Structure 1
Amino acid sequence: MLTRPTDARTRTVLVAAVAAFACLAALVALYAGRPGHAATGGHRAGVSVPPPGEHPNGRTVGGPASATKPNIMVVMLDDMRSDELRFAPNARRYVRDRGLDFRNSFSPYPLCCPARASFLLGKYAHNHGVLYHTAPYGFGALDDHLTIGGRMQDAGYDTALVGKYLNQYGLQPSRVTGGPSEHYVPAGWTDWMVGIETPFPRWSPNWGNTYNYFAFTQNINGRTVPHTGQYSSTVIGDEVRGLITKYHRDDKPFFMWVTPVAPHIGDPVESDDPPPYRESKYWLQQFPSPARPDWVKGRFDRQITHAPGVPLHGPSEADVSDKPQNIRKWREMVPVEKQRLRDVARQRAESIYAWDVEFGKIVQRLKATGEYDNTVIVFTSDNGYYLGEHRQREGKIKAHEPVLHVPLQVAGPGIEQGIRYHPITTMDLTATVLDLAGAKPLPDMDGSSNLPEMTGPDQPWTIPVVTEGLIKDVHRKRWTDLPTGLTTSGLRVGRWKLVRYANGDAELYDEMADPNELDSVYSDPRYAAVRDEMARLWEQYKDCKGAACRVPLPADLQTRDTWLAGEDQHALQARTDYYDR
């Protein structure tokens, strides 16, 4: 239970309110009328507030971390879909409903390791080189000697990473040191509380790993710490709340990257987990799911009657002849598979809700310490996830909307309220956080700051999103000009999406006419002009670097924010009509 603040803390809260109001006024004045996109900005003038108390060494203590810069907390879930936000009421209440909901938020390479590396470095996967989650990629491929953490420290922030890092962390050697990673702590982090994949046998006291919800073993500032019998979301929530209290006593603002594992699949196997189904003599279909605490089990059984990517009645997708080979091979689900995928959707919702309860407690700790009004909170996911779309039982990596599209809500001092249709990628989020903190950009960043859209009006869609992936069963036969190591690459603009595969397959979708991406028009002669223009642009952007990734699209492919709002409503209706029919 939280204790009531002392009188000194009460005075601190009043000072925080004054500081937050002053920061808001400064931000609004700074960005009023600022047009379009920009790369990360420079330092901005702060607002000085009389200190609530003096430390013997001259530092101010006892108040919200900084009167000149906001705290920033990025909460990034693992594999959460945009439509699963409905299972996170605290995230909706404290972030979406009091801030901004970005409806066109994308993870360009929708897989854990590449996506997280992109957030750390602000780069596309084709530039940072982390192209998969296992060797020769994974954690061992990441050069993390300078990341967003280091830049935020340089800007005067306490920094913390709490939760999951990259796959194979703890097993693969560090690219930076060349040595083991079990005790490795990258530069740039004041506090490091990160799950590891350990080589320990089951009988070891340190046994456990990032993906065991009830045996979550961490590297805490260089020490191996097991949490056997505790649910990982609870562990992470407790640690974040402790850090809020700790940093509240400091004179610095804080930056936290909070990364719970939910709703990623994970151990232990539970008695109510959906069992595998043998589709044929040669194929065993698995239905992996996350583990959950007992108190949340069954909470959404009435609400979730079918997986969100499986129509209530009828086939998932009757005709997949327009799809790439790695989708054409799949058969339609039989009723028992649909039932088991529904159970997966229920368990994912339960794991999200279990984390959301912890998130609500985190917000209450921010309020109790007086930090809430000076904290920008970002709620997002590293990538989306298939739950039945295009006959895909589960998975990610490909460039279809359920996988590419991620939730993104932002709230805090100076942040507007409402909806934004301007696109934002994982790398843009990196640039935005640095801009908000007045921090120096990372080297060769591909993303651009969306702070103008957060502190001012919406903007048109003028910059493309490059989609990327390494799909193991797609082999290189044609289009050998894909970026090195990738087997799929594409381009997403406001209305159109082009996807190419190394084996010669390709897709082209009109996202306005077909938001569920049921009919690729790549081979339709009526769309030849669009296909050719998108192909030319893909050649330009596919291996872009830095400023070249931010070159505006031709005028005919740019889309107004008002048009995007109409498209969004059309897409929502089309999805409802198809999947709930």
Structure 2
Amino acid sequence: MKLPFYALVIAIIHNSLLACGTTFGPVDQKPLAPLNGGGTGQNQSRPNIVFILTDDQDLHMNSLDYMPFVKKHLIDRGTFFKRHFATTALCCPSRVTLWTGKLVHNTNVTNVVAPYGGYSKFVSQGLNDDYLPIWLQESDYNTFYTGKFLNGHSTDSYDKPHARGWNGSDFLLDPFTYWYMNSTYQRYHDTPVSYEGQHSVDVLAKKALGLLDEAYEAGKPFFLGLAPVAPHANLYSPAFRHGNHSELEDIEFSPPVPADRHSTLFEGAKVPRTANFNPDKPSSTSWIRKLPKQNQETVDYNDHFYRQRLRALQGVDEIVDSVVRRLEALDILDNTYIIYTTDNGYHIGQHRMAPAKQCSFEEDINIPMIIRGPGVPEGSTSEIITTHADFAPTLLEIAGAPPREDFDGLAIPLTAYGLKEASETRHEHVTVEHWGFASNEGQVFDWYPRLHTNNTYKALRVISNTHNLHYQVWCSNEHELHDLATDPGQMVNLLHPDEQQAPATIAGAPLEKVVARLDALLFVLKSCKAATCVDPWKALHPKGNVASLADALSPRFDGFYEEKERKMRIQFERCEMGFLLDAEGPQFKEEEVAFRFDPKWHEWT
């Protein structure tokens, strides 16, 4: 990965300071002596896991290019997963998928606030008793965590009940989660502590090293989760100062706040001027297609917002360096997997949108993911499809725990051989879903309010040597299709009536035929469970002779899909703010396949 000039300057500054033995930032960067004279009580037969989870970090606006320590320690020493996706582009639902290995329609944590989401919903769904840290503890791992856990995990709910599964924790709590200079953390079962006047990421940096030392001293293999709030927008309400919550419409959103030492970096940086940045022509459908072109004042504001994100990420970059150096000093770096990712992506100006997430465009769902560790190829890039639902199976496999049959994801291969095999055999689809509102985290205008409420949809990505497609059905039953092979910015909705130049074919197949296959695939995925989420084609073709869209496009299946179109079609009954089954329309049920389809088609399946 080529670094831009700004990042090279930062790297030179950082490395020069380190070479001089200078302290940079809040964490001691001087060479560290191993604890206890270099001894380690760990069982070295099983690896440790450090999981770094940022908040709203983009891939498509090149944020990684401005993080030299991430490049040095992780990208250059590990594998960058180019096609990693969040299956829901909203933090709380996405994080629950990460910790459970289940898609959001199977967790029913669909939003950031009650009644459809947040910590209280996580608890009421029984997930506080059945998720990753508990499973790791059952495999004799110690588990530690600091930073943002879930939205709604707050100063008045953190002990109702405590988050289970952690041997050590220091949680960042609402309503102070996104207030960079007035954070509140809560350690173990202690009373929450305010860090007003200190930068939230810097506070976490110290806590991260403290928990790492505790994990090392405990002598067992460990999982350590680090979840800084950067580069999420800064959120403030007068009610926050008294520890009270506010309605979303009453909260002031503003650009992230970097630490003072980073506040003047990247003065010339701007949101990449891609084809879909503030385009002359509207795109997509529903509320997005109605957005007007942004004026220069708004564009300038968005560029400032972008620079503040890059600046806020510098503290995260320093955490990566500090953690790697501490692991090295403790002589456990070579036996530790380090995973770096984010909960969802982000857009600023693409498709004329204000800063936010919650859409199914690439900017929002295709996100950074890097893994370094024992046996992981160094300086490598993989293009296999991975998602957040794959993390829980992967981490349990690392821990030597038995696989669970209810996972909606598939373990990520971590060796050169496994990655090569996966490149030939792994599935090509990504399930994407969202319920409720789309937010605006930038400036509020009459034409662009704080919230758009009709943002419920089911979507699908199919990426292979023959197809690169995005298909979506909105709760309004509007449809969307993009061919990213010819339209990487997703500017042309091939199914919108205003598009006069929709091609008759996509990748050699008639457009209508491709849409019918995609609709069938998404029909299965929108309510899939467990193995069906990994291999949905087998639900449609039980004999197992269809494993890809290309297979399904064979002419011998035309009659089968014509019959399917009459009997099963994605059709929302209405738009809802959360997952309500009676609003979701017809549901695919594997046990009813033979009943739903005329048996004569089974000779083809």
Q: TM-score range by the shorter chain?
A: 0.7 to 0.9
- Residue 187 of structure 1 is matched in structure 2 by 164
Q: 1:238: Cα distance to partner?
A: 0.8
8 Å CA contact 1:462, 1:552 repeated in 2:
no
Asked if structure 2 preserves the Cα contact closer than 8 Å seen for 1:87 and 1:349, the reply is yes
CA contact (8 A) 1:315 1:332 kept: no
Q: 2:111, 2:436 within 8 Å by CA — same for their partners in 1?
A: no
| Amino acid in the other structure paired with 1:132 | N
Counterpart residue type for residue 293 of structure 1 = A
Aligned residue among 209, 219, 224 for 2:186: 219
Q: Displacement, 1:103? A: 0.5
> Could you say what the CA RMSD is over the residues aligned between the two structures, in angstroms?
2.7
User: Are 1:9 and 1:369, in contact at CA under 8 Å, matched by a contact in 2?
Assistant: no
Shift of 1:556: 5.0
Give yes or no for the alignment of 1:165 onto 2:149. Answer: yes
Using a 3 Å threshold, how does the CA distance of structure 1 residues 452 and 360 change in structure 2: closer, same or farther? closer
Counterpart in the other structure of 1:522: 495
Equivalent position amino acid for 1:445 in 2: F
Question: 1:4 and 1:387 mapped to 2: Cα distance?
Answer: 40
Query: What residue is the counterpart of 2:475 in the other structure?
Result: 502
Give the partner amino acid of 1:509.
H
Output one character per residue of 1:270-289: Cα deviation in whole Å (capped at 9) or x when no partner. xxxxxxxxxxxxxx9x9721
2:254 counterpart residue number: 288
Q: 1:323/1:374 Cα in 2 relative to 1: closer, same or farther (>3 Å)?
A: same
User: Residues 356 and 268 of structure 1: is their aligned pair in 2 closer, same or farther, counting only changes over 3 Å?
Assistant: farther
**Measured at CA, do residues 135 and 268 of structure 1 come closer, stay the same or move farther in structure 2, by a change above 3 Å?**
closer
Asked whether 1:466 is paired with 2:431, we answer yes
2:486 is aligned with 1:513: yes
Which residue of structure 2 aligns with residue 229 of structure 1?
A: 197
Residue equivalent to 2:10? none
2 CA distance for matches of 1:131 and 1:192? 25
Map Cα deviations across residues 77-121 of structure 1 (whole Å, 9 max, x no partner).
000001211121111111111110101000010100100010111
Alignment of 1:195-210 (within 5 A): 195-198=172-175, 209-210=176-177
Q: Secondary structure at the match of 2:408?
A: coil
Give the conservation status (yes or no) of the 8 Å contact 1:100–1:454.
no
Tell me which amino acid in the other structure corresponds to 1:225. V
Distance 1:346 1:542, change over 3 A: same
Is 1:357 the counterpart of 2:318 in the alignment? yes
Contact 2:524 2:536 in 1 (8 A): no
CA 1:242 to 1:505, structure 2 compared with 1: closer, same or farther past 3 Å? Answer: same
Alpha-carbon deviation of 1:518?
1.0
Partner in structure 2 of residue 335 of structure 1: 296
Q: What is the aligned counterpart of 1:430 among 373, 383, 392?
A: 392
State the shift of 1:363 in Å.
Answer: 1.4
Deviation of residue 364 (structure 1)?
1.3
Render the CA deviation track for 1:412-449: whole Å, top value 9, x for unaligned: 11111211000100011221111111123456210110
- AA in 2 matched with 1:245: D
Q: Which amino acid aligns with 2:184?
A: T
1:162-199 deviation line (CA, Å, top 9, x unaligned): 10011111267xxxxxxx4356422211012111115x
Alpha-carbon deviation of 1:509? 1.2
Q: Which residue of 2 aligns with 1:9?
A: 37
Partner of residue 106, structure 1: 85
Separation in 2 of the partners of 1:86 and 1:343?
18
Residue 154 of structure 1: how far off its partner (Å): 1.1
CA distance in 2, matches of 1:3, 1:360: 12
Task: Tell me the alpha carbon deviations over residues 362-421 of structure 1, each in whole angstroms, 9 at most, x when there is no partner.
Answer: 211111111211111011110000111111121111100000111001111111121100
* Inter-partner Cα distance in structure 1 for 2:353 and 2:253: 11
Structure 2 letter corresponding to 1:193: D
Match in the other structure for 1:307: 271
Residue 208 of structure 2 aligns to a residue in which SS?
helix
Structure-2 residue corresponding to 1:579 = none
**Correspondence for 1:139:** 119
Other-structure match for 2:530? 546
Tell me what 2:287 maps to.
326
Does the aligned pair in 2 maintain the 1:522–1:531 contact within 8 Å?
Answer: no
2:523 and 2:160 map into 1 onto residues whose CA distance is 42
How far did 1:545 drift? 0.5
Distance, in Å, in 2 between the alignment partners of 1:397 and 1:94 is 30
User: Which secondary structure state, in structure 2, belongs to the residue aligned with residue 391 of structure 1?
Assistant: coil
Shift of 1:536: 1.1
**Cα separation, partners in 2 of 1:491 and 1:6, compared to 1, 3 Å:** closer
Residue identity matched to 1:9: G
| 1:529, distance to aligned residue in structure 2 (A) | 1.3
Q: Residue 587 of structure 2 aligns with which residue?
A: none
Summarize the Cα distance change of 1:195–1:454 in structure 2 as closer, same or farther, 3 Å threshold. Answer: farther
3-state DSSP class of the match of 2:397?
Answer: helix
| CA deviation after TM superposition for structure 1 residue 76, in Å | 0.7
Match of 2:223, SS state, is strand
Task: Tell me if structure 2 keeps the 8 A contact 1:113–1:133.
Answer: yes
State the secondary structure of the residue aligned to 1:456.
helix
Map 1:480-491; keep pairs closer than 5 Å. Answer: 487-491=456-460
Q: Do 2:427 and 2:548's aligned partners in 1 also have CA atoms closer than 8 Å?
A: no
Whether the 8 Å CA contact 2:34–2:331 is kept in 1: the answer is no
Give, in whole Å, the separation in 2 of the partners of 1:3 and 1:419: 31
Three-state SS of the structure 1 residue aligned to 2:254 is: coil
Q: Secondary structure at the match of 1:74?
A: strand
Amino acid at match of 1:307: V
Amino acid at match of 1:297: S
2:102 paired residue number = 123
Check whether the contact 1:491–1:497 (CA below 8 A) recurs between aligned residues.
yes
The answer to whether the 8 Å contact 2:145/2:171 transfers is yes
Equivalent positions of 1:268-287 (< 5 A) are none
Secondary structure of the corresponding residue to residue 535 of structure 1: helix
User: Displacement of 1:466 after TM fit?
Assistant: 0.9
Change (3 A) 1:486 1:333: closer
- Cα gap change, 1:218 to 1:445, in 2 (>3 Å): same
- Structure 1 counterpart SS, 2:351: helix
Query: What code does the residue aligned with 1:291 have?
Result: V
Q: Aligned to 1:317, which of 266, 279, 282? A: 279
| Counterparts in 2 of 1:229 and 1:501: CA distance versus 1, 3 Å | same
Match of 2:132 among 148, 167, 177: 148
Distance 2:322 2:43 in 1: 22
**Normalising by structure 1, what TM-score?**
0.75
Pairing of 1:55-66 with structure 2 (within 5 A): 62-63=40-41, 65-66=42-43
Residues 406 and 530, structure 2, Cα contact 8 Å, conserved in 1 = yes
Equivalent residue for 2:357, pick from 372, 377, 396 = 396
Using the alignment, how far apart are the partners of 2:474 and 2:416 within structure 1? 35
Classify 1:324/1:378 alpha carbon distance in 2 versus 1 (closer, same or farther; 3 Å): same
Cα distance change of structure 1 residues 529 and 7 upon mapping to structure 2, 3 Å threshold: closer
One-letter amino acid of the counterpart of residue 236, structure 1 = L
The alignment partner of 2:485 has SS state of coil
> Who is 1:201 aligned against?
none
